[in-house]
Amino acid sequence: MTASPFYGHFDDLRGRAVCGWVWHPAEPERQVAVNILIDGEPVVGGLAADHRPDLEAAGAGDGRKSFALMLPLERMDGAEHEILVTAEDGSPLLGSPRHMVLPDLRFHPLTADPTPYPIELAICAIAKNEARYMLEWIAYHRLVGVQHFLVFDNESDDGMSEMLDRLATQGVVERVPWRTIIPGPAPQLSAYAEGLRRLRERAKWIAFIDLDEFLNPLEGQSVRSILADYEGAAGLVVPWRLFGSSGEEVYRDDLVIRRFTRRAEDDHPVNSSVKTIVRGNCVEAVGVHVPIPLRGQLVDEFLTVAGTISYPDHHPVPTARRLVLNHYFGKSRQEWQIKRAKGRADLNATRTDEEFTGHDRNEVEDTRMLAWCDAVMEEMNRLRDPA
């Protein structure tokens, strides 16, 4: 039997996306066709043409050798099947065939939870040296319906710790000192695990978001009133709307939501990521973007199950009309350099300047958050001087 000239691997199934990579070492620039079979029946095919930096670094041509092919929705039936992934010559990729359960991606709502939670909506976040931004972020989210803030303070030394302690005496926040331990797990993931433990029995809904992310109810509703329509889900995935620098080069002492009003188009790939507002008693563990549900399903605002469109944590909702997550990723060039110097809480790694360039999207003028500015300033003043 002639050995196959192709080299590749079936990595995993994410939602209904069959993921992996394949290339032709003798023709490194060639893009190879891939076929997916379920129980021996061909169901979908396509080219391995997506870019992966690790493949390029490993010498696989230009790195455009990966694939994420979507299985037909009608095949996602909650039953076990044999998944076979082949290169264009019919040879199976490494890791294939594999017997696995295809998730049921039809929405099955949970029964109502009668538990009287003391907190309807909380935010859990990890932050380091965010004194410039913390008060605005808290004030804004109080206005849109957040009742409690659990903030893991990752070794701050810019006055943020003292600010949080003062707010804690007012009952506004709960501050938890949190160290980075190297080697060890990323501090964000360990903080989220502790946050879920602390809030699971106290809060009905928990949003796991960052200090550069703002929950934006597009119709002016409170976030809590929106969540009332998703009681049957384990969590609501909220799509990013990624904002660029708006041409700002240096920090100005003004609100983030007033300084940055330009963003990527709704259907731009950078907006495919989501963060999740979870039902704490429905999830087993929390990741950076989506949790592992213990029971129930994660849905978007249209009750489409996360994973139906793409990966569960890359679930684009370009037509979102109720709730999005404004992501002020880099802010000005000067602020980006400060953020870059802090490192990443999710990977114990250093960011690159290429990340700023790739995320500096300014195609769409979006001024909807300006309507909140006066109220945010008033709330910030109340928090500074509660008397």
Q: pTM for the whole thing? A: 0.84
For residue 56, tell me if it sits in a domain: yes
Q: Which of 66, 101, 136 is the last residue of a domain?
A: 101
Examine the domain organization and report whether 218 and 342 are in the same domain: yes
| DSSP character string of 299-335 | E-TT-PBTTSSS-TTB---TT--SEEEEEE-S-SHHH
Sequence-distant (≥ 6) Cβ neighbours of residue 226 within 8 angstroms: 217, 236, 301, 322, 323
Clarify whether residues 339 and 268 are in a common domain.
yes
- Tell me, yes or no, whether 95 and 131 share the same domain: no
Q: Is the same domain home to 230 and 368?
A: yes
CA angle 281, 283, 286 (to 5 degrees): 125
First to last CA, the chain: 83
Mean pLDDT of the chain, nearest integer: 93
Those residues of the chain that have pLDDT short of 50 are none
Tell me the pairing of strands 283-286 and 323-328. Answer: unpaired
Same domain, 44 and 131: no
| Domain span holding position 28 | 7-101
Q: Kindly state whether residues 211 and 358 are assigned to the same domain.
A: yes
Domain contains 107: no
Region of residue 247 (left: phi > 0; alpha: psi -120 to 50; beta: else) = left
2 in a domain, yes or no? Answer: no
What pLDDT shows up at residue 347?
A: 58
Considering the domain boundaries, does residue 131 fall inside one?
yes
Q: What is the structure's pLDDT at 342?
A: 78
Q: Which among 323, 338, 333 is positioned nearest to 368, based on CA atoms?
A: 323
Could you count the other beta carbons within 10 Å of the beta carbon of residue 226? Answer: 21
Domain boundary among 72, 101, 130: 101
331 and 200 assigned to the same domain:
yes
Q: Are residues 230 and 354 in the same domain?
A: yes
Rounded to whole angstroms, the Cα distance separating 306 from 314 reads 8
Residue 110 forms part of a structural domain? no
- Beta-carbon-side half-sphere exposure of residue 1 (alpha carbons within 13 Å): 5
**CATH at 64:** 2.60.40
| 97 and 147 within one domain | no
Domain boundary, last residue among 38, 69, 101 = 101
* Same domain flag for 253 and 371: yes
Residues 130 and 84 placed together within one structural domain of the fold: no
- Domain of 185, CATH number, reads 3.90.550
Q: Is residue 211 part of a domain?
A: yes
Residue 216 inside a domain? The answer is: yes
Q: Exposure pattern of 185-207 as b/e (b: 16+ CB <10 Å)? A: ebbbbbbbebbbebbeeebbbbb
Which of 334, 147, 308, 296 is closest to 222 using CA atoms? 147
Note whether 90 and 130 are same-domain residues. Answer: no
Domains identified in the chain, total number: 2
**Burial annotation 54-65 (CB, 10 A radius, 16+ → b, else e):** ebeeeebbebbb
Q: H/E element holding 197?
A: helix 187-199
- The burial class, CB within 10 Å (0-12 / 13-18 / 19+), for 355 is middle
